[in-house]
Chain A
Amino acid sequence: MGQSSHSGTFEAQSKEMRDLNPREIAWRLARTRREFLRDAAGMAAGTAFMGASPFVHAATAKKKRKVIVITFGGGARDQETFAPEGQINIPHMLGDLIPQSSFFTQVTNHGILGHYVATASLATGVYETLNNFSAVPPDHPTVFEYFRKDLGRPVSDAWVVAPSNGFNRIGESGCRSYGPGFGARVILPKHLLSAAASGSKVDYSHLLHDNYETPLYAPQIGGGEFELQQLDQILKLSVNDFMEHAKTLSSPDELSVFIAKRLMRQESPSLLWLTLHDIDVAHSGAFSLYVDAIRRTDRLCAELWKAVQEEPEYMGNTTLLILPDFGRDADQDSGGNGFQHHRTGDPASRTTWMMALGAGVRPGVVYDSPVQSIDLVPSIGAMMGFSAAQSQGRLIRELL
């Protein structure tokens, strides 16, 4: 066996990364994602398409436009997803979704990296500073309030399906100028299941994790939660059928997607927001469970996109936006413990991606231009025809 010097790629890479500023590292992450995608899915550079809008059905789309947002509470890193060694975990995104999508390689989150506060920031277009572990409303108007108030839409037209008790207030802000009554209805599928299962002999506990950051603690539900009896009225689903279906599911996110699809069928909301959370099992430190959750999330995103194609109310006029709320810590950051957490605030934990597909979207295009997570709300506003007046984000022109 030959001898070699051991200067160490890891040490060299670590030093090289340390020598870059956060913006340069974010740029490098984005460029790497582009290269992964070019190799895996043959996607084109976005700049070549700028100025030639393919928004061929803009007028009709605006009339009936529907937007579905899927966020991941708990980001997945490139090495477990888009990098060559991670692509095995996202076959549906790579094979089915990305070729149809505009892909933004550099979405940064400059806010607090806790799941509720970050999702609230995504929904308001302002970096919120609320307590991540309390069921409190965001301080600034949500996308749902802008949408309903500006466009005069009924309550049935904006829904949130969220993973844990803490998200119950995300549908409506505490901002007085928008005030109560303009928010989205929020469904917490696990809360419903918990209520439905009380007294049952069947063990549904595998679906009832509240969250993984503080596994023992579940904030008290506050606000106007979706009650069990509304299952039948709104979702046309008996408690028994709901329970029977729950028995077939292996994770909370599967339950959320089941409810989201039911909502699409029965209520057909124009603005539907679904937050998935299984990936955040990474906080337990078990890498295999984290990877399993990535694979499940990949499958569920494709399942929801398939539902969009199959529902007459959604087919052809729906834009689906998929993005993690933020990333996870890099292996190289000594302040963290790699995939387990998102505590360092390093570029890997702040930089993520977004995929847009469906109505008004240029398929198969990659954009490297930096985007912030708070840019989502004004961009949805531009798509749907409302103004996100208090949002601090900027319009993502590539989506228009």
Chain B
Amino acid sequence: MQPHDLQADQFVGYPPEAKKLAVANVKAFQQLPLSFLPGLLREVIEYDYKFPAEQAAIDKELTNLSSLSPLQITEWFHGFAQLSLSSKLEHLDWVNRPAQYIEQESAYLWTTHQLDAFSVAATAYGDRLRTAVPVDKLPVARLGIAVIGQGVASYDSPLFRDLRAHGTYFSQIKAENGLELLIDAVEDRAKAHPIPYGHWYVDGGQAARQSPALTNVSYAASQPVRDNLLKYMQTEIARPGMGPEELRTDLARLLPADLGMTKDGDAVLDRFQVRLFTEGSGTQIFSTTFAQWTTREALRRAQPLTLLVRFAPRQRQKPMNELLSNTSPNPELDPIGSLVDADMGAYYHWINQQRLLGAEKSSFLVWFEGHSQALVVAPSLPRGAQSDSAMDLKGLLSLATS
């Protein structure tokens, strides 16, 4: 089926809000090329479980698409229309299973050497969309905080190497109550600017505090979900005919209830967490990967005003098959390796924050937990500089956000 054959009643299987949205925009959908539309429907079908920032982005995109004339549609989607797809793809149920369709389309584009052309078309579309849709003003400049190196007594190699050129390195930070001060500050921001999913605390281990003002995600709290997922994966792999692509497809279909999450939880956050483990690579095994990927996905999807991530020691590397069978209840930890992981994770945190609206005003702080080293990237502070001024984390944060 081609998009121009699409009818409103074909969205009957969509969740309520997604169905309303799809039906209202079916005329716009009919004009779009098949190489593009399922990617959009993949977002629409999840609309009921999206973060507010994502819903707003979808709303704006659909409003824009509906406003385009046929000539503009041709201009905007020229690159996508040039792609050649197989008849097998056309016969897939891309309306009800857009994610599975995208997997197939992606594989097809790779094998037919059209991926670069797709990337060019997608980048061009994204650039056009960014200039076409209205931009909201942020109530407060964004703030990212990364706390790294938990459990490391001493470390002689330089830290924050990738970030130093972008900010100011502080060598005399008073570590006392540092984590508490940082969480307090994040809570204060959440109370001053109460936005749903606007302020996050991600912990790669046990959360230091569970704050109702924040969106809380921790590796320790996700243990039952991870255990259930690993059991599910082991069972699936043992099935005849199972391969990596089939497994990936199966994982993509999993819902919170499949992994033992109760229905009285936060449906949006629960789905988000399931995706962290079913789509993230290594998140099930290494807490540092979990913390980094959660931060990336939270920034990409929820676009919070504040995100504090605290990395914890991950387990020492064991072979994947042993790790996945999850046999050892008390795995040996690797604090130094985890610090190196987290140092890079903090750099990626800043990069992902800089991709969001208001990047020129945003601030970022990374602190070596329990130690005197920190670094801040902020509009008010010089780049590539060092400060030996003594101050606590509250003072440093104040400097970062001033």
Contacts of B338 in A (CB 8 A): 288
Q: State which of B214-222, B255-263, B313-321 sits at the interface with chain A.
A: B313-321
Check B354 for interface membership: any CB of A closer than 8 A: yes
Check B88 for interface membership: any CB of A closer than 8 A: no
Contacts of A133 in B (CB 8 A): 243-245
Looking at A4, A10, A110, which has the most chain B CB atoms within 10 Å of its CB? A10
Check B133 for interface membership: any CB of A closer than 8 A: no
Number of residues on chain B facing chain A (CB within 8 A) = 64
Question: Given A134-B243, A205-B319, is A286 in contact with B337 using a C-beta cutoff of 8 Å?
Answer: yes
Contacts of A205 in B (CB 8 A): 318-319, 321-322
Compute how far the CA of A53 lies from the CA of B13 in the bound complex, rounded to whole angstroms: 69
Question: Given A208-B321, A217-B247, is A6 in contact with B383 using a C-beta cutoff of 8 Å?
Answer: yes
Compute how far the CA of A213 lies from the CA of B388 in the bound complex, rounded to whole angstroms: 44
Contacts of A208 in B (CB 8 A): 319, 321
On whether the beta carbons of B288 and A129 are closer than 8 Å, the reply is no
Chain B nearest CB from A217 CB (Å) reads 5
On whether the beta carbons of A9 and B166 are closer than 8 Å, the reply is yes
On whether the beta carbons of A214 and B244 are closer than 8 Å, the reply is yes
- Chain B: which residue is nearest A346 at the CB level? B119
Compute how far the CA of A345 lies from the CA of B110 in the bound complex, rounded to whole angstroms: 9
Compute how far the CA of A150 lies from the CA of B343 in the bound complex, rounded to whole angstroms: 53
Q: State which of B71-79, B91-99, B264-272, B373-381 sits at the interface with chain A.
A: B373-381
On whether the beta carbons of A285 and B292 are closer than 8 Å, the reply is yes
Check B303 for interface membership: any CB of A closer than 8 A: no
On whether the beta carbons of A1 and B282 are closer than 8 Å, the reply is no
Contacts of A281 in B (CB 8 A): 317
Question: Given A133-B245, A212-B320, is A286 in contact with B115 using a C-beta cutoff of 8 Å?
Answer: no
Check B111 for interface membership: any CB of A closer than 8 A: yes
On whether the beta carbons of B244 and A9 are closer than 8 Å, the reply is no
On whether the beta carbons of A285 and B282 are closer than 8 Å, the reply is yes
Compute how far the CA of A112 lies from the CA of B115 in the bound complex, rounded to whole angstroms: 9
Check B161 for interface membership: any CB of A closer than 8 A: yes
Chain A 340-374, CB-CB to B under 8 Å as 1, else 0, gives: 11001110000000000000000000000000000
Compute how far the CA of A349 lies from the CA of B244 in the bound complex, rounded to whole angstroms: 22
For A287, give its contact among B119, B280, B341 (CB under 8 Å): B341
Chain B nearest CB from A140 CB (Å) reads 15
Chain B nearest CB from A92 CB (Å) reads 20
Main secondary structure of the interface of A (DSSP, over half): loop
Chain A 287-301, CB-CB to B under 8 Å as 1, else 0, gives: 111011000000000
On whether the beta carbons of B111 and A129 are closer than 8 Å, the reply is yes
Contacts of B296 in A (CB 8 A): 337
For B321, give its contact among A6, A9, A215 (CB under 8 Å): A215
Chain B nearest CB from A230 CB (Å) reads 25
On whether the beta carbons of B360 and A6 are closer than 8 Å, the reply is yes
- Chain B: which residue is nearest A215 at the CB level? B320
On whether the beta carbons of A10 and B166 are closer than 8 Å, the reply is yes
Give residues 164-222 of A contacting B (CB, 8 Å).
205-209, 212-217, 219
On whether the beta carbons of B383 and A288 are closer than 8 Å, the reply is no
Contacts of A213 in B (CB 8 A): 244
Question: Given A134-B243, A283-B282, is A9 in contact with B320 using a C-beta cutoff of 8 Å?
Answer: no
On whether the beta carbons of B281 and A340 are closer than 8 Å, the reply is yes
Check A103 for interface membership: any CB of B closer than 8 A: no
Extra A-B contacts (13), CB below 8 Å, given A129-B111, A207-B319, A286-B341: A1-B381, A6-B379, A10-B351, A205-B318, A212-B320, A217-B242, A287-B341, A288-B334, A292-B337, A331-B348, A332-B351, A345-B116, A346-B119
3 closest A-B pairs by beta carbon, nearest first, are: A285-B289, A288-B340, A215-B320
Interface residues of A (CB under 8 A from B): 1-11, 18, 22, 85, 110-113, 127, 129, 133-134, 205-209, 212-217, 219, 281, 283-289, 291-292, 331-332, 334-335, 337-341, 344-346
A-B contact pairs, 23 of them (CB 8 A): A6-B377, A9-B166, A22-B116, A112-B110, A127-B113, A208-B319, A208-B321, A209-B320, A215-B321, A216-B234, A217-B243, A217-B244, A281-B317, A283-B282, A285-B288, A286-B317, A287-B340, A288-B334, A288-B340, A291-B340, A337-B293, A337-B296, A338-B351
